[in-house]
Structures are given as structure tokens and as C-alpha cells.
């Protein structure tokens, strides 16, 4: 199958590296230097001690997406640049969106000319160079349909043992659970400047994580709170040595995904007329550290 991947952050590059084994993959970059580099040297995929160079990837810095399946892997706050281009596309396409958070979902409803799929990425990945990505945690991508009347995405085409895809009967639920974990781990690690593991190992930080968890799970209407809390702590243990993406973004003075994650929860809290003082506090803590 011909697959276009828009966005070459860690998730886009991870998808490209794995899917290129079975498919004709084109990645769309913003910068020409990056597409030149990928065309020349391929993508280097690091997994544990293994280093594979994936040569069969084309890269383009253009914006005429022609593949029948497009995987959109830009950050939530970059969708504003991409959505107009997708709307103009005349041919009906399968569009798989892989953003964190939920605040972009309403925007996607304007894409009714296409089949729109929402994916939750549960992989650990880290971009370590313009053409290098590390697969730091084995996971899965759970996929659901945005519009109820569209055909489901044929995941058997994409699925492989090392890079699994799974149908999400209820994408909103799996996205909510992903959002919940992100809401706890990302802003706290960014604020405290600690690795993920500290949130389970340091009893004071665990208390903070639990308080944030409670506000967020209340807003998301999570019913099995104990089981879900255990899952969040399990993620922290499994990724103990990882520095979260928000911590890395904060330290590098980059824009973070705080609006898509905590910003979304604040909007929901407002609709539900619920007070969430800690989420508000965390929002401003991270937002205040972003360089303008």
C-alpha cells in the first residue's frame, strides 16, 4: 500500500521505519534539509542494542499528499497548518490522526469528505536526530473511526508483530485513558524536572501525581479509578528512565503539548462547572515556562 506520513517527529519516524518494511512509504517533512537527509541516508531505527537503517523511505518537503492512506503525526498545535491542505484534497482518503490529547477532535469533524481515524500511540519513542528515532518502549496503536458511517480501517494491512495495530471499539475511551496518563506524567515531570520513575519512587511526588490524577479522572468520567491509577503508575515504572516529551520540550524552550492535554481538561471542567485547581496550577506552571 502507498502510505504518506505527515510529520517527522518521533511518532512519524517510528511509523515510517516500521511500515516501510511492507509498504511504499513517503514522509512529508517541513524542512528540505531533513527530506534530503532521509532520501540520502534513510531512517535509522534504534531498538535496544539494535540499529537498523531503513533505506526504502522516500521523503518530500512538498505538500501535495497523493497516497490513499495518510498518517498525520504532527503535534496537535501544528494541525492548523495541515488541516486546510487536507480539506482541499479532492480524492477521498483514509486519514489516521496520531495526536495526543483530545482538543483537536472537534476540528477533525470538518473533514467529512474523508474517512477519519483516530489513533492512540502507546509506544515509547524518542527522536535523536533529523533521521534517527529510538523505539524506547514496545506498545501498540489503537485505532477507531471518527465518523460512525465510514468503513473501519483495514488494520491487518498495517499490523505486524513488532509494530502492532489494534481496533479500538471505543476510541474515545482509549484516547481518554492515554490523555489521563499524559495529564499526570507529562506536566509533573516537566515541572519537577524529573524522570518518569520519580513519580512512583518519590512518595511526595506520588502524592502530587495522585492528586492530579483524581482531578483529571473526575473530568474524564473514569469509573474504575483504582485500576486506572495502577496503570499510570505501571507506565511510570516501565518508563522509569525516560524523560517525558514535555520535560524535554520545556528544557529546550520549545512549545509544549500542554494546551492539547491540560488545556482540554480545563475546557471540559468549565463545561462541567467543576473546579480543578491543580490542573489550572499545572497549566500555568508549564505555560509560563514556554518561550514566546
Positions in the binding site for its own copies (CB under 8 A)? 191-193, 202-205, 207-208, 211, 277-278, 280-281, 284-285, 287-289
Q: Note the Cα 119 to chain centre separation in Å.
A: 8
Min separation Cβ 227 and its own copies, Å: 24
Residue 90 vs 204, nearer CB to its own copies: 204
Instruction: Give the number of other CB atoms < 10 A from CB of residue 223.
Output: 8
For this structure, is 255 an active site residue?
no
Min separation Cβ 281 and its own copies, Å: 6
Measured torsion, CA atoms of residues 63, 67, 70, 75, in degrees rounded to the nearest 10: -20
Residue 41 vs 193, nearer CB to its own copies: 193
Min separation Cβ 263 and its own copies, Å: 12
Residue 16 vs 279, nearer CB to its own copies: 279
Min separation Cβ 118 and its own copies, Å: 30
Q: Which of 178, 195, 210, 255 is catalytic?
A: 178
Residue 24 vs 194, nearer CB to its own copies: 194
Q: For residue 148, count CB atoms less than 10 angstroms from its CB and return exposed for 0-12, middle for 13-18, buried for 19 or more.
A: exposed
Instruction: Assign 223 to helix, strand or coil.
Output: coil
Instruction: Give the number of other CB atoms < 10 A from CB of residue 59.
Output: 23
Instruction: Assign 52 to helix, strand or coil.
Output: strand
Q: How far apart are CA 200 and CA 205, in angstroms?
A: 7
Grid cell in block for residue 248: 524535554
Amino acid at each position: 500500500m502507498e502510505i504518506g506520513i505527515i510529520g517527522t517527529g518521533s511518532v512519524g519516524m517510528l511509523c515510517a521505519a516500521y511500515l516501510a518494511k511492507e509498504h511504499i512509504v513517503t514522509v512529508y517533512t517541513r524542512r528540505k534539509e531533513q527530506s534530503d537527509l532521509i532520501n540520502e541516508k534513510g531512517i535509522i531505527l534504534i531498538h535496544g542494542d539494535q540499529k537498523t537503517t531503513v533505506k526504502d523511505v522516500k521523503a518530500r518537503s512538498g505538500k501535495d499528499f497523493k497516497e490513499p492512506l495518510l498518517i498525520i503525526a504532527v503535534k496537535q498545535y501544528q494541525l492548523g497548518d495541515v488541516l486546510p491542505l487536507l480539506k482541499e484534497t479532492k480524492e477521498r482518503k483514509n486519514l489516521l490522526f496520531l495526536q495526543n490529547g483530545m482538543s483537536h477532535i472537534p476540528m477533525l469533524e470538518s473533514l467529512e469528505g474523508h474517512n477519519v481515524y483516530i489513533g492512540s500511540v502507546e509506544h515509547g519513542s524518542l527522536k535523536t536526530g533529523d533521521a534517527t528515532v529510538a523505539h524506547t518502549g514496545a506498545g501498540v496503536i489503537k485505532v477507531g473511526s471518527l465518523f460512525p458511517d465510514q468503513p473501519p480501517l483495514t488494520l491487518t494491512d498495517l499490523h505486524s508483530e513488532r509494530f502492532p495495530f489494534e481496533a479500538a471499539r471505543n476510541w474515545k475511551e482509549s484516547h481518554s485513558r492515554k490523555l489521563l496518563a499524559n495529564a499526570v506524567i507529562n506536566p509533573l515531570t516537566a515541572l519537577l524536572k524529573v524522570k518518569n520513575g520519580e513519580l512512583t519512587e518519590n512518595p511526595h511526588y506520588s502524592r502530587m501525581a495522585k492528586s492530579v490524577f483524581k482531578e483529571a479522572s473526575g473530568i474524564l468520567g473514569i469509573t474504575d479509578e483504582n485500576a486506572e491509577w495502577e496503570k499510570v503508575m505501571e507506565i511510570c515504572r516501565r518508563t522509569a528512565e525516560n524523560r517525558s516529551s514535555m520535560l524535554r520540550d520545556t528544557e529546550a524552550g520549545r512549545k509544549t503539548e500542554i494546551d492539547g492535554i491540560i488545556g482540554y481538561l480545563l475546557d471540559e471542567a468549565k463545561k462541567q462547572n467543576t473546579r480543578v485547581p491543580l490542573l489550572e496550577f499545572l497549566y500555568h506552571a508549564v505555560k509560563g515556562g514556554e518561550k514566546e
